[in-house]
Amino acid sequence: MSRRIVIVGNGPAGHRLAELLGARAPGTDVTVLGAECEPAYNRVLLPSVLAGRLTAEATYLAQHPEGRVRVRTGVSVASIDRQQRNVRTGEGVVLPYDHLVLATGAACFLPPLRGLADEEGQPAKGVVALRTLADCRLVEDRLPVRGRIAVLGGGVLGLEVARALTERGYGVEVVHGGAHAMDRQLGPAAGALLEGALDGLRVRVLAGRTATAWTGDRLALDDGSSVPADLLIVCAGVVPETSLARDAGLRVGRGVVVDEYLRTSDPRIHALGDCAEVGGEVSGLIAPAWEQAEVLAGVLTGEPRPYTGTRTITRLKVRGVDLAVIGVGEREVAGAETVVLTDPSRGQYARLSVLDSQVVGAVLLGFPDSVAAVGQLFDSGAAAPNDRLSLLMGRAVAGPAPDPGALPGQTVICRCSNVTKNDLATAWLRGAREEAELAQATRATTGCGGCRGSVREICQWLRTKHDQPDADAGRTGEEPDRPVDRLSPSHPRRDAHHDPVPELLAP
Ligand SMILES: Cc1cc2nc3c(=O)[nH]c(=O)nc-3n(C[C@H](O)[C@H](O)[C@H](O)COP(=O)(O)OP(=O)(O)OC[C@H]3O[C@@H](n4cnc5c(N)ncnc54)[C@H](O)[C@@H]3O)c2cc1C
């Protein structure tokens, strides 16, 4: 009998793991059980759906090739029997496993606010807690014709959602308990400039105010004022989905506790993505979920390597604002040297932290030309140039830009959608010859957009290489007009199932 792996959760983490197992362990019986009724999709793209820039279908992740993975959508797992090694679904179906993987993600946090939830703990009338495509449809159904919208939570997601709705013509007020917008990532100076920029885009941030009650048509605040709203969208953080693990007696902290091989306290059960707590941290970001899927695929196919963390770069997906938070962002690092550059009249702020010549963190607001170079230094760990100011001004490049032809095929170009150079080459060979077509085929550039310059360079390289097969596969000389992200070979990953097209696909 073949080995049975059951994955609970069909989000990005569960889907990617299944894809890798399907490709690398063909004899294994892989089943994914997902509570949502949709095919797997990329949650990161939901603000673009709300803005009306992407359809729901455009967020779907690639289907597994026929016969490799069994996916059951609309199926919720209700319990785990660790002795018998099986799971029971909500409908009472029992599925045995040899290895079980929890990829149950996270749920929206509903703050304990009078009137916000109904008796069953679900969002009350006029309230949507945004996490899923179904939630986006709810927002769509409830959008007032000419009414007022409030967002609770001025972190990354709350701001992205608010801006998505102002793109549709609404004015949105964001109520945020922290001292300023994105206070978890930004200090007061950058926060104030960000709020100013958002104000110009019809996103008004009311920071430092605690919401006390939702009355159905207004959000009451602790200073006695209130925000009238026909629709309230809650983006106040997430809670890792740990109930299955807890009920099964697994070790649970903030998330399901796993070691560096993503093993829970039961060696037959693993966890990854938003539900997992690794080294005391729960991530809540997509890049660690993609990377953990790679690590776990290795562990389950006899090629174990430990998960050692993910270098994260967060780009705010807000049209009209260019903000990147790299590594530790503004957090103080003992012994680090910091350079701060600010021009309030132009809404620009940059802060760079360098420790032992390496970039450990940066916040770049209104510095699109330096994001690529600073991000590349952070990714590669290469020594930062001594002229830090030039680096921040986008004048000092971090060495020559990598030649697209020389990049390994598995280099991840788009972090939001986990698209490699080879994925782009494959799409190009299947007929996607323009950047827009590559974007449509692979979803690259449709998240934060930070990879747009890289995709353009690769598209140019593919065209040159295809038209003149003997030509030097290097850069074509035409620089992207705004190099938002230079090619960075920092995240190699192995492809799951692509047809080999040898001339353009790099090893
Ligand atoms: C609107 C939005 C925008 C975002 N933007 C960004 C961004 O720009 N950058 C970034 O890094 N991150 C972003 N994130 C976070 C990112 O989407 C998550 O980190 C990522 O989705 C985690 O993937 P996951 O598979 O671990 O969990 P999830 O995506 O939460 O998927 C878990 C799945 O498991 C299912 N499930 C749970 N319990 C069960 C059960 N008992 N039985 C069966 N199925 C179950 C759930 O229904 C869900 O479908 C965003 C999130 C949202 C909501």
Distance 396 CA to ligand 1 centre (A): 38
Q: Please determine, for residue 173, whether its predicted confidence score (pLDDT) is greater than 50.
A: yes
Q: How confident is the model at residue 234 (pLDDT cuts 50, 70, 90)?
A: very high
Q: Give pLDDT tens digits for 370-379.
A: 888 898 899 8
- pLDDT reported for residue 403: 77
Q: How many CB atoms lie within 10 A of CB 425?
A: 24
The answer to whether 20 and 297 have CB atoms below 8 angstroms apart is yes
Domains 127-236 and 322-392 share a fold: no
Best residue for ligand 1 mutational test, from 16, 79, 136, 241 (most atoms within 8 Å of Cβ): 241
Reported pTM: 0.88
Distance 241 CA to ligand 1 centre (A): 10
Q: Please determine, for residue 469, whether its predicted confidence score (pLDDT) is greater than 70.
A: no
- pLDDT reported for residue 369: 85
Q: How confident is the model at residue 506 (pLDDT cuts 50, 70, 90)?
A: low
Q: How confident is the model at residue 489 (pLDDT cuts 50, 70, 90)?
A: very low
Residue 33, ligand 1, Cβ within 6 A: yes
Between CA 252 and CA 258 the distance in angstroms is 9
Residue 8, ligand 1, Cβ within 6 A: yes
The answer to whether 44 and 321 have CB atoms below 8 angstroms apart is no
Which residues lie below 8 Å from residue 66, measured CB to CB, with a gap of 6+? Answer: none
Q: Which CATH code is given to the segment(s) 127-236?
A: 3.50.50.60
Domain ranges, ordered by start, for the chain: 4-107+239-300, 127-236, 322-392, 400-507
For the ranges 61-70, 272-281, 411-420, 493-502, the one whose mean pLDDT is highest: 272-281
Q: Give pLDDT tens digits for 299-338.
A: 999 999 999 999 989 999 999 999 999 999 999 999 999 9
The answer to whether 471 and 464 have CB atoms below 8 angstroms apart is yes
Distance 103 CA to ligand 1 centre (A): 9
Distance 397 CA to ligand 1 centre (A): 36
Share of the chain above pLDDT 90, in %: 74
Nearest atom within ligand 1 for CA of residue 272: 26
Distance 274 CA to ligand 1 centre (A): 7
Residue 34, ligand 1, Cβ within 6 A: yes
Q: Residue 234's closest CA among 141, 126, 134?
A: 126
Q: Atom 47 in ligand 1: which residue has the minimum CA distance? A: 35
Q: Residue 487's closest CA among 501, 503, 473?
A: 473
Q: Residue 355's closest CA among 384, 329, 380, 375?
A: 384
Residue 159, ligand 1, Cβ within 6 A: no
Q: Give pLDDT tens digits for 43-98.
A: 999 999 999 999 999 999 989 998 889 999 999 999 999 999 999 999 999 999 99
Looking at domain 4-107+239-300, its CATH class is: alpha beta
User: SS3 for 288?
Assistant: helix
Q: Which CATH code is given to the segment(s) 322-392?
A: 3.30.390.30
H-helix segments, 381-420: 388-392
Which residues lie below 8 Å from residue 119, measured CB to CB, with a gap of 6+? Answer: none
| Chain mean pLDDT for the chain | 89
What does the pLDDT average to over 117-137?
A: 95
Nearest atom within ligand 1 for CA of residue 47: 1
User: SS3 for 448?
Assistant: coil
Lowest mean pLDDT among 13-22, 119-128, 489-498: 489-498
Residue 105, ligand 1, Cβ within 6 A: yes
Q: Atom 32 in ligand 1: which residue has the minimum CA distance? A: 105
Q: Determine the residue type at 364.
A: L
Between 476 and 7, residue with greater pLDDT: 7
H/E element, 340: strand 337-343
Q: Atom 19 in ligand 1: which residue has the minimum CA distance? A: 285
Q: Which CATH code is given to the segment(s) 400-507?
A: 1.10.10.1100
Q: How confident is the model at residue 395 (pLDDT cuts 50, 70, 90)?
A: confident
